[in-house]
Amino acid sequence: MSSKPTALEKSYEPKDVEARWYEYWESNGLFHADPDSSKEPYSIVIPPPNVTGVLHIGHALDNTIQDILCRYMRMKGKEVLWMPGTDHAGIATQNVVERQLAEEGLSRHDVGREEFIERVWKWRAESGGKIINQLKRLGASCDWDRERFTMDEGLSRAVREVFVTLYEEGLIYQGDYIINWCPRCHTALSDLESEHEDVKGGFWYVRYPFKNGKGHLTIATTRPETMLGDTAVAINPEDPRYQDLADDTLILPLVGRELPIIKDKYVSLDFGTGALKVTPAHDPNDFEIGRKHNLKSIRMMDDDGRINEQGGAYQGLDRFEARERIVADLEEQGFLERHEEHIHSVGHCYRCKTMVEPILSKQWFVKVGPLAEEAVRTVDEGRTRIVPEVWNKTFYEWMNNIRDWCISRQIWWGHRIPAWYCECGEVIVAREDPTTCPVCGSSNLRRETDVLDTWFSSGLWPFSTMGWPDKTDLLEKFYPTSCLVTGFDILFFWVARMMMMGNKFMGEVPFKDVCIHALVRDAKGQKMSKSKGNVMDPLLIMDEYGTDAFRFTLAAFAAQGRDIKMSEDRIAGYRNFVNKVWNAARFTLMHLAEDMTEGRDLEPLLEDRWILSRSVKAAKEAGKAIEEYRFNDAASAIYQFTWHEFCDWYLEFIKPQLYNADDPARQAKTRRVLGEVFSRLIRMLHPFMPFITEELWQRLPDSLGSIMKSDWPVISEADYDSEAEEEMKIVMEVIGAVRNIRGEMGVNPGQQVPLLLKPADQGTFELLERNRDRIALQTKAQEVSLEMDGEQTATMATTALSTLTVLVDLKDLVDFKAEEVRLGKKVAKLEKEITKSEKKLSNQGFVDKAPQEVIQKEKDKVDEGRAQLERLKDNLSRVRSFL
| Binding site per annotation, positions | 530
Report how far residue 297's alpha carbon sits from residue 278's, in angstroms, rounded to the nearest whole number. Answer: 10
Please answer whether residues 683 and 710 qualify as being in contact, where contact means their C-beta atoms are separated by less than 8 angstroms: yes
Report how far residue 462's alpha carbon sits from residue 44's, in angstroms, rounded to the nearest whole number. Answer: 8
Query: H or E segment at 693?
Result: helix 690-697
In sequence order, the 6+-apart residues with CB closer than 8 A to the CB of 160 are 415, 418, 431
Beta-bridged to residue 177, according to DSSP, are 361
Report how far residue 16's alpha carbon sits from residue 802's, in angstroms, rounded to the nearest whole number. Answer: 50
Please answer whether residues 295 and 231 qualify as being in contact, where contact means their C-beta atoms are separated by less than 8 angstroms: yes
As a three-state string, the secondary structure of 457-514 is: HHCCHHHHCCCCCCCCHHHHHHCCEEEEEEEHHHHHHHHHHHHHHHHHHHCCCCEEEE
Q: In 3-state terms, what secondary structure has residue 747?
A: coil
Cα 297 to its chain centre, rounded Å, is: 43
Q: In 3-state terms, what secondary structure has residue 716?
A: coil
Report how far residue 732's alpha carbon sits from residue 648's, in angstroms, rounded to the nearest whole number. Answer: 11
Beta-bridged to residue 275, according to DSSP, are 235
Please answer whether residues 97 and 123 qualify as being in contact, where contact means their C-beta atoms are separated by less than 8 angstroms: yes
Give the sheet arrangement for strand 216-221, strand by strand: 216-221, 194-209, 336-349
Single out the residue of 853, 849, 193 nearest to residue 526, CA to CA: 853
> 445-447 and 481-487: which strand pairing?
unpaired
Q: What is the dihedral of CA 490, 492, 493, 495, to 10 degrees?
A: 80
Report how far residue 179's alpha carbon sits from residue 195's, in angstroms, rounded to the nearest whole number. Answer: 14
DSSP 30-64: TT---TT--SPEEEEE--PPBTT----HHHHHHHH
Single out the residue of 811, 759, 760, 763 nearest to residue 785, CA to CA: 759
Report how far residue 20's alpha carbon sits from residue 23's, in angstroms, rounded to the nearest whole number. Answer: 5
Residues annotated in a binding site for ATP: 530
Burial category of 318 from C-beta neighbours within 10 Å (exposed 0-12, middle 13-18, buried 19 and up):
middle
Report how far residue 536's alpha carbon sits from residue 57's, in angstroms, rounded to the nearest whole number. Answer: 7
In sequence order, the 6+-apart residues with CB closer than 8 A to the CB of 25 are 31, 141, 694, 706, 708
Please answer whether residues 688 and 809 qualify as being in contact, where contact means their C-beta atoms are separated by less than 8 angstroms: no
CB atoms under 10 Å from CB of 121, counted, come to: 13
Where do the DSSP E strands lie in 236-335? 249-251, 258-263, 275-278
Please answer whether residues 66 and 44 qualify as being in contact, where contact means their C-beta atoms are separated by less than 8 angstroms: yes
Q: If you ran DSSP here, which 8-state letter would residue 144 be given?
A: G
In sequence order, the 6+-apart residues with CB closer than 8 A to the CB of 262 are 232, 233, 234, 235, 278, 289, 293, 295
Please answer whether residues 473 and 36 qualify as being in contact, where contact means their C-beta atoms are separated by less than 8 angstroms: yes
Report how far residue 210's alpha carbon sits from residue 330's, in angstroms, rounded to the nearest whole number. Answer: 16
CA distances in angstroms from 461 to 75, 281, 437, 510, 623, listed in the order given: 26, 35, 33, 9, 29
Residue count of the chain, please give it: 883
Beta-bridged to residue 188, according to DSSP, are 181
